A and B are shown apart, each in its own frame.
Chain A
Amino acid sequence: MSEQTKHAEHEHHIVGPMVYVAILLALLVGTALTVWASFLELGPWNPIIALAIATAKATLVVLFFMHVKYSTKLTKLTVVAGIFTFLILVSMTLADYISRAWGSW
């Protein structure tokens, strides 16, 4: 029974156009910002800033365009678990390459 009451609680959430317009503007600003930053000479910070802005943009897309902010806990857990697994695979691959004779191929 408790399952059914829970279902009634999280009725399908409809994200409205104003949210989408706000996210569109934020993504356009982010794009302008990352292009502008690429023209500055920031040494090692160039890739860090570019990837940070890209990650911020991707997060906005996932949360609002893809409705994850309003989704079930199952969906949220799935998304987080996926990103987590991906990062583990990347770092284990890198750990493997770095701990061998790096660059002597």
Chain B
Amino acid sequence: MPDNSAIVHDAQESASAANNANGANSAHLEHPSYLRHHFNSTEQQADTSNFAMWLFLLTEVMFFGGLFTAYLIYRNWYYPAFVAGSHQLNVIWGALNTVVLIASSFTMAMGVWCAETRRRKGLVLSLTLTFILGLCFLGIKTIEYREKFEKHHVPGAHYSLQSFVDPTSDPDIFKEYHDKPLPLDMARHTEIYFSLYFAMTGMHALHMIIGIGILGFMIYRARAGAYTSGHVTFVENFGLYWHFVDIVWIYLFALLYLISRHQ
């Protein structure tokens, strides 16, 4: 494909160069093969795909925004239940996962820089580190989810109110927070907290899983020399996606783990 399209490009470009008296345009005669026909320049092409990626991210903002709004409203309605539910989360795991995800955003940013400066080995290393850190995040999340399953804090038929109607039965949590028992009707609303907890962290984890899959594909391609010959759009746009997922977690960490510790 590159050879044929180069010939077509050349023909078109000499025609347009003839129309265009401006000498600056003669540089277009030798433009890279990845420049699509409907763009004037590689800059225009890059700006266009950057704009499109941001539009996609805005739909993601609205998607997670709906979940955040639901959390905001329910937390204010069933405040004691949301505080008690939040006390079940371990701040240390949450903070560790925040650090892991921030580190993965850093390695991803370094990957974009390596692609831009045409460092193949650096790119493969950066993407691989991002891949590994992404898996670490999911591993820690699995440890947390496992505990929720063991305590029957997963919404559904086997949901248990034990920790909330009788906090002393859950000594690890009780010795840290000294929660008072909740009345049964309020205790039942902790299930809403955990529904939102699993919906929000689950959708976030799904984004991570998709991202890790794409990272695997990119590592495979980068080893063969892709992205380091000038055409970095794919790596850049994936970087935007990965950083967006990081931002969602920054807010999830604050809202789910941190803000209810003293209530």
B62 CB–A CB distance under 8 Å: yes
Shortest beta-carbon distance, A93 to chain B, in Å?
Answer: 5
Q: Contacts of A75 on B, CB cut-off 8 Å?
A: 47, 50-51, 54
Interface segment among B102-110, B138-146, B207-215: the answer is B102-110
Q: How far is the CA of A83 from the CA of B62 in the complex (A)?
A: 9
Among residues 65 to 105 in chain A, which have CB atoms less than 8 Å away from a CB atom of chain B? 65-67, 71-72, 74-75, 78-79, 82-83, 85-86, 89-90, 93-94, 97, 103, 105
Q: Are A14 and B258 in contact (CB under 8 A)?
A: no
Which among B24, B46, B76 is the interface contact of A12 at CB below 8 angstroms? B46
Shortest beta-carbon distance, A103 to chain B, in Å?
Answer: 6
Q: How far is the CA of A79 from the CA of B244 in the complex (A)?
A: 12
Q: Contacts of B216 on A, CB cut-off 8 Å?
A: none
Q: Contacts of B91 on A, CB cut-off 8 Å?
A: 35, 38
Which among B50, B116, B251 is the interface contact of A54 at CB below 8 angstroms? B251
Known: A65-B105, A103-B77. A46 touches B72 (CB 8 A): no
A7, A8, A39, A53: residue with the most chain B Cβ atoms closer than 10 Å: A7
B247 CB–A CB distance under 8 Å: yes
Q: Are A8 and B95 in contact (CB under 8 A)?
A: no
Which among B51, B73, B98, B240 is the interface contact of A31 at CB below 8 angstroms? B98
Q: How far is the CA of A42 from the CA of B244 in the complex (A)?
A: 30
Which among A39, A50, A93 is the interface contact of B259 at CB below 8 angstroms? A50
Q: Contacts of A15 on B, CB cut-off 8 Å?
A: 109, 113
Closest Cβ neighbor of B54 among chain A residues: A78
Q: Are A4 and B22 in contact (CB under 8 A)?
A: yes
Q: Contacts of A4 on B, CB cut-off 8 Å?
A: 22, 24-25, 40-41
Shortest beta-carbon distance, B185 to chain A, in Å?
Answer: 12
Against A, the Cβ 8 Å flags (1 = close, 0 = not) of B177-200 are 000000000000000000000000
Q: Are B43 and A11 in contact (CB under 8 A)?
A: yes
B243 CB–A CB distance under 8 Å: yes
Q: Are B262 and A46 in contact (CB under 8 A)?
A: yes
Which among B102, B103, B239 is the interface contact of A66 at CB below 8 angstroms? B239
Q: Contacts of B108 on A, CB cut-off 8 Å?
A: 65
Q: Are B254 and A50 in contact (CB under 8 A)?
A: yes
Q: Are B69 and A12 in contact (CB under 8 A)?
A: no
B169 CB–A CB distance under 8 Å: no
Shortest beta-carbon distance, B23 to chain A, in Å?
Answer: 11
A24-B103, A34-B254 known, 5 other contacts, Cβ within 8 Å? A7-B41, A20-B110, A46-B258, A65-B108, A94-B73
Show the binding face of B for A, using Cβ within 8 Å.
22, 24-25, 40-41, 43-44, 46-47, 50-51, 54-55, 57-58, 61-62, 65, 68-69, 72-73, 76-77, 91, 95, 98-99, 102-103, 105-106, 108-110, 113, 116-117, 236, 239-240, 243-244, 246-247, 250-251, 253-255, 257-259, 261-262
Nearest first, the 9 A-B pairs at minimum CB distance are A47-B259, A82-B58, A54-B254, A38-B258, A24-B106, A50-B254, A50-B258, A58-B247, A27-B102
* Contact sample, A vs B, 12 pairs, CB 8 Å cutoff: A7-B43, A20-B110, A31-B102, A34-B258, A41-B262, A58-B251, A72-B47, A75-B47, A86-B61, A89-B69, A90-B68, A93-B73
